[in-house]
Structure formats: structure tokens, C-alpha cells
């Protein structure tokens, strides 16, 4: 059936291509195909994309073989939002990474194309270009370029194949021109999954904090201050003495990203005690499944907390619904396992202190990021 449609399409294309010719059918069909594929008439003039980051953010490390260009980022945005990347054209990356959810889907676990639920919660893509120590909750992939290839063929996610997507991209009315402008390809035939992934990665690197969060304004702009409750929360958040929250043991503020990018067990899963063999009981082994080391079972990457109020529910399994629940979890000290992190220990917390921590976390809200027109769906 599919093959049938394909051949009709191919025939139509040949027909269209030969129609364009004015010279009365002098060329062979092959030549005509070539000229239809040829993109060299379109100007290739790449302009560097200027990444603007808030004050005191580190410089993002961009791979030298994929510099960000204006056309590259724009192509990436189209691909990110285009259901052309899924088997039945119903889903795109943005189905699970929506701007309104800080580029998550606000579900406990993501639901894929065939209505099948995955086992993990979608991750915010805010500042994702800064995470060099391994992507995903378990760090199994290193670069955004590598990562972008995976959802397309993931059975639970977009569930199609790259060869199919490549055919659709070559056939598209818009993409050949966009690939030409982004990467200087000379013919449609040069459209590959690798270029698509590069463009998506460029778009993802453009998803940085706006600098308009109250926290950033208070840091960077004269005359803006945190209010007393928020300040109290900030002090609690960074207060690393025992019997205090000490969130900055892991959600580090130095590089402004509120993570140290390490993989730890922060005690959200009850495996039945601290004996080593209980480490087999993690329903999701996380880093352990990647390294094969039992002591890595149940370790997940410390996520950034920027714009955290907008990406509920929380944790890799979406098991905590609200920030209040998250704070209660930490205050309880969580569940002990053989490898639970020593920096997660119980601490007393008054209602006032809880409100303060929450108020501080809300200073990281970044509406300007979510509403940035440059990040929105181009097909809307």
C-alpha cells in the first residue's frame, strides 16, 4: 500500500519536473530529475546565531562541527514542531516538550505515538545546551546531535524510521530550501538524518534562560531585590549545615544552572532497606542500567531547577506532583538505600520555612522564556 503511494508520488514528481522544462523534452528523464533536485540557485549565506545568555551564565560550548546559524536554528525549530517526524504524522518532539511546560509535557510519564506510556517523565529543555555530562535522566547519550536521532525511531515515542523521514523531507515543499540555507547542500539528495539532528540541536541550544526571572533580575539588575520571604528561602536553599536543606550540595548555583550534573540517588524510591542486594529492587535502574554497576542503580542526573514551577510533576518517574511534595520529601530525608546520597538527610522545616523555600523556587519562574516568540511552534 505504502509502496503504491510512493510510486504514484514518484511518477507525479517526474511528471512535474518534466513539465517545468521549456525545451520541449530535450533532456532525458534522469537529467530532469537532477535539475529538480538541484538547489544551487538558492543563496547559501550562513549568518552566525548570536546566543544571548543572562549575566554570569557560562559561555555555552558549541561543537565546532555544528556552529549555530540563524537558518540552522530556524530549520531546527521547524523540525522540532513538525509531525512529519512521526509515523502517522500526529506527533512531534513538541508533543512531549511544550513551551508552556518549560519544554516538558507536564505528565508524570510521557505518552507516545500509539498511546503507549513510557516509563519516564519528559525533561525540560531549558538550558539543555549546557548539559555536557550525559543527557537523559540516566546520561546514556552525550550530545544533542546524537540524542535528536533517537526519538524518531523509539517505539514508544515517534515510532517511524529515519529513511522514511528522509524521504518525506526531500519531498517537502519547504525543507530542501531550508536545508540548503542552513547547511549549503547542493541537492535534495544530500538531506540526511544527521543534518536534521544538527539543526534540531542548534534549536535546542537556543533554548536558554531569558534573564527575566526575578532571581536573575535581582542578580543582574540594579534596584531589583528578592523580598524577605524569598531571601529567607534562598538562605535555606544554600544553607549546607546538617539538619538544613542544603539543596546547593547538588543544585549548584555557581554556574547559574542549579545543577552539578552528577548522578545520585536522592532517596525517592523505597527499595526495602540499606542492604546492598536491595539495590536490585529499583524499578528503574537509571545510571546502573548504563554502567552495569549495581551501586549506580537508582541514580539519576540532578536536574536544573530553573523555571521548575512550570514543569510539574517531578522526578524521573513523575512521582511527586507539586513542589510542596518535593520539599516534604527532602525534609523527611527520603528512603535510605545502600547508595543513597549522604547529602540528602532529614531536616526540620516549619510552615514558614517551607513557604520561604517555595517562594525562592518561584523566583526562578521564567515566563519570558516560555513566551519567547522565537521558541514557539512555526506552524501555528
Q: Which is nearer to another protein, 34 or 290 (CB)?
A: 290
Q: Please state the closest distance from residue 136 (CB atom) to another protein, in A.
A: 18
Asked if 308 interacts with ligand HEC (CB under 6 A), we say yes
93 binds, among ligand HEC, another protein, none (CB under 5 to 8 A by kind): ligand HEC
Asked if 178 interacts with ligand HEC (CB under 6 A), we say no
300 forms beta bridges with 264
* Binding to another protein in span 110-139, by CB under 8 A: 132-133
How far apart (Å, rounded) are the C-alpha atoms in residues 378 and 374? Answer: 9
| Nearest Cα residue to 81 out of 169, 209, 200 | 200
Element holding 204 (H helix, E strand): helix 193-205
**x-or-dash pattern for ligand HEC, window 181-200, by CB under 6 A?**
-------------------x
How far apart (Å, rounded) are the C-alpha atoms in residues 63 and 60? Answer: 10
Q: Which of 78, 179, 314, 369 binds ligand HEC (CB under 6 A)?
A: 314
Q: Which of 172, 291, 343, 377 binds ligand HEC (CB under 6 A)?
A: 343
Element holding 162 (H helix, E strand): helix 162-171
Asked if 316 interacts with ligand HEC (CB under 6 A), we say yes
Q: Please state the closest distance from residue 57 (CB atom) to another protein, in A.
A: 8
Lookup result for grid cell 510539574: 312
How far apart (Å, rounded) are the C-alpha atoms in residues 302 and 355? Answer: 23
Burial 77-93 (b: 16+ CB within 10 A, else e): bbbbbbbbbbbeeebbb
| Nearest Cα residue to 94 out of 186, 171, 157, 51 | 157
Lookup result for grid cell 518517574: 317
Write out the three cell numbers for 48. Answer: 552566525
308 binds, among ligand HEC, another protein, none (CB under 5 to 8 A by kind): ligand HEC
How far apart (Å, rounded) are the C-alpha atoms in residues 29 and 18? Answer: 7
Lookup result for grid cell 500526529: 90
Q: Please state the closest distance from residue 350 (CB atom) to another protein, in A.
A: 18
Asked if 295 interacts with another protein (CB under 8 A), we say yes
Q: Which is nearer to ligand HEC, 120 or 180 (CB)?
A: 120
Asked if 147 interacts with another protein (CB under 8 A), we say no
Backbone angles phi, psi at 335, to 5 degrees: -90, 140
* Binding to another protein in span 234-273, by CB under 8 A: 238, 240-243, 246, 248-250, 252-255, 257, 259-262, 267, 273
Number of residues that bind ligand HEC (CB under 6 A): 54
| Nearest Cα residue to 208 out of 47, 49, 321 | 49
Q: Please state the closest distance from residue 229 (CB atom) to ligand HEC, in A.
A: 15
Q: Please state the closest distance from residue 188 (CB atom) to ligand HEC, in A.
A: 21
How far apart (Å, rounded) are the C-alpha atoms in residues 282 and 269? Answer: 7
Q: Which is nearer to ligand HEC, 54 or 151 (CB)?
A: 151
Asked if 245 interacts with ligand HEC (CB under 6 A), we say yes
Local structure of 71: helix, strand or coil: helix
| Nearest Cα residue to 182 out of 309, 42, 373, 352 | 42
How far apart (Å, rounded) are the C-alpha atoms in residues 148 and 144? Answer: 6
Backbone angles phi, psi at 373, to 5 degrees: -55, -30
Q: What residues make contact with ligand HEC under the rule CB under 6 A?
A: 85, 91, 93, 95-97, 110, 112, 118, 120, 122-123, 125, 128, 131, 135-138, 144, 147-148, 151-152, 157-158, 200, 204, 245-247, 249-251, 264, 266, 268, 300, 302-303, 305, 308, 311, 314-316, 323, 326-327, 330, 341, 343-344, 357
Which residues contact another protein (rule: CB under 8 A)?
Answer: 56, 58, 61, 132-133, 238, 240-243, 246, 248-250, 252-255, 257, 259-262, 267, 273-274, 276, 293-295, 332-336, 338-346
Amino acid at each position: 500500500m505504502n509502496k503504491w503511494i510512493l510510486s504514484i508520488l514518484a511518477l507525479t514528481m517526474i511528471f512535474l519536473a518534466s513539465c517545468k522544462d521549456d525545451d520541449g523534452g530535450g533532456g532525458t528523464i534522469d537529467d530532469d530529475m537532477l535539475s529538480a533536485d538541484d538547489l544551487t540557485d538558492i543563496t547559501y549565506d550562513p549568518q552566525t546565531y548570536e546566543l544571548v545568555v543572562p549575566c554570569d551564565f557560562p559561555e555555552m560550548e558549541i561543537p565546532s562541527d555544528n556552529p549555530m546559524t540563524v537558518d540552522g536554528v530556524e530549520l531546527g525549530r521547524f523540525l522540532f514542531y513538525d509531525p512529519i517526524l512521526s509515523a502517522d504524522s500526529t506527533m512531534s518532539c513538541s508533543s512531549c516538550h511544550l513551551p508552556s511546560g518549560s519544554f516538558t509535557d507536564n505528565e508524570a510519564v510521557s505518552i507516545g505515538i500509539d498511546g503507549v506510556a513510557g516509563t519516564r517523565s519528559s525533561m525540560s529543555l531549558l538550558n539543555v545546551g549546557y548539559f555536557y555530562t550525559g543527557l537523559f535522566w540516566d546520561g546514556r547519550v552525550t550530545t544533542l546531535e546524537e540524542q535528536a536521532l533517537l526519538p524518531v525511531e523509539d517505539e514508544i515515542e515517534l515510532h517511524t524510521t529515519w529513511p522514511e523521514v528522509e524521504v518525506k523531507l526531500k519531498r517537502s515543499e519547504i525543507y530542501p530550501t531550508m536545508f540548503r540555507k542552513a547547511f549549503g547542500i547542493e541537492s535534495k539528495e544530500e538531506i540526511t538524518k544527521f543534518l536534521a539532528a544538527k539543526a534540531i540541536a542548534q534549536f535546542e541550544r537556543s533554548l536558554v534562560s531569558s534573564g527575566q526571572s526575578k532571581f536573575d533580575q535581582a542578580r543582574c539588575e540594579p534596584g531589583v531585590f528578592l523580598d524577605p520571604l524569598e531571601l529567607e528561602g534562598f538562605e535555606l536553599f544554600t544553607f549546607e549545615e546538617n539538619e538544613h536543606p542544603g539543596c546547593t550540595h547538588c543544585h549548584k548555583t555557581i554556574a547559574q544552572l542549579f545543577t552539578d550534573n552528577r548522578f545520585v540517588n536522592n532517596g525517592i524510591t523505597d527499595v526495602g532497606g540499606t542492604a546492598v542486594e536491595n539495590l536490585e529492587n529499583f524499578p528503574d535502574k537509571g545510571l546502573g542500567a548504563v554502567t552495569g554497576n549495581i551501586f549506580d542503580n537508582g541514580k539519576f542526573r540532578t536536574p536544573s531547577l530553573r523555571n521548575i514551577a512550570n514543569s510539574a510533576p517531578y522526578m524521573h518517574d513523575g512521582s511527586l506532583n507539586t513542589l510542596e511534595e518535593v520539599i516534604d520529601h527532602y525534609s523527611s530525608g527520603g528512603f535510605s538505600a545502600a547508595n543513597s546520597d549522604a547529602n540528602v538527610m532529614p531536616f526540620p522545616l516549619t510552615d514558614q520555612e517551607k513557604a520561604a523555600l517555595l517562594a525562592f523556587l518561584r523566583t526562578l519562574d521564567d515566563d519570558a522564556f516560555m513566551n519567547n516568540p522565537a521558541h514557539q511552534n512555526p506552524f501555528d
